[in-house]
Amino acid sequence: ERVLSLPAELNRRREERKQELLQQWNQAVQREEVDRGIQILTELDPFLTKEEAQSLQDSARHVFKARLVALGVSFGLAVSESRWRDALEVGLSIRQEFPNSRMAQEVGEKLDTLRVRAGFAAGAEVIQRAGSQE
């Protein structure tokens, strides 16, 4: 009897978690908590049906655009303040998180110069540390 009720219990718990995440998502969007929103969306994604995912598309697009803008501002400030290692790290984040964006293309054109100014050899490959996002 207990084994027979297991699938229903799993579905109930799964739905509970999904509703909890959706509530957290809506709060993060309202508060413009970009990083938290991305974290929640990543966790929420496997729970969503195609239709549910489509209904969140606009708010998700807004959150990711805000993230790209924030990274762009951080990059610009780091460059203008001659913080070359910071600029390089943020630039690599932009390229990794938004590889198809125009900003990633523009940053990519400056990476060799940033590597040299950050104290790395011109052709050196710089690998971003895990978890080192702004």
Residues 84 and 108 placed together within one structural domain of the fold? yes
Q: Using an 8 Å Cβ cutoff, are 82 and 56 in contact?
A: no
Query: Which letter does DSSP use for residue 40 in this model?
Result: H
Structure token pair of residue 16: 């509970």
Give, for 31, the enclosing helix (H) or strand (E). helix 6-31
Q: What is the domain range of residue 111?
A: 60-127
Residue 28 CB: number of other CB atoms within 10 A?
20
Question: Is residue 43 domain-resident?
Answer: yes
To the nearest whole number, what is the mean pLDDT of the chain?
A: 91
Nearest residue to 93 via CA among 116, 71, 62: 71
Exposure class string for 12-25: b at 16+ Cβ within 10 A, else e: eeeeeebeebbebb
Q: Using an 8 Å Cβ cutoff, are 71 and 134 in contact?
A: yes
Q: Using an 8 Å Cβ cutoff, are 122 and 116 in contact?
A: yes
Bigger pLDDT: 127 vs 19 = 19
Q: Which residues contact 98 (CB under 8 A, 6 or more apart)?
A: 64, 68, 71, 104
Residues 9 and 49 placed together within one structural domain of the fold? yes
Confidence of residue 133 (pLDDT cuts 50, 70, 90): very low
Residues 68 and 10 placed together within one structural domain of the fold? no
**Domain end: 55, 70, 98, which one?**
55
- 60-115 per-position pLDDT tens digit: 999 999 999 999 999 999 999 999 999 999 999 999 999 999 999 999 999 999 99
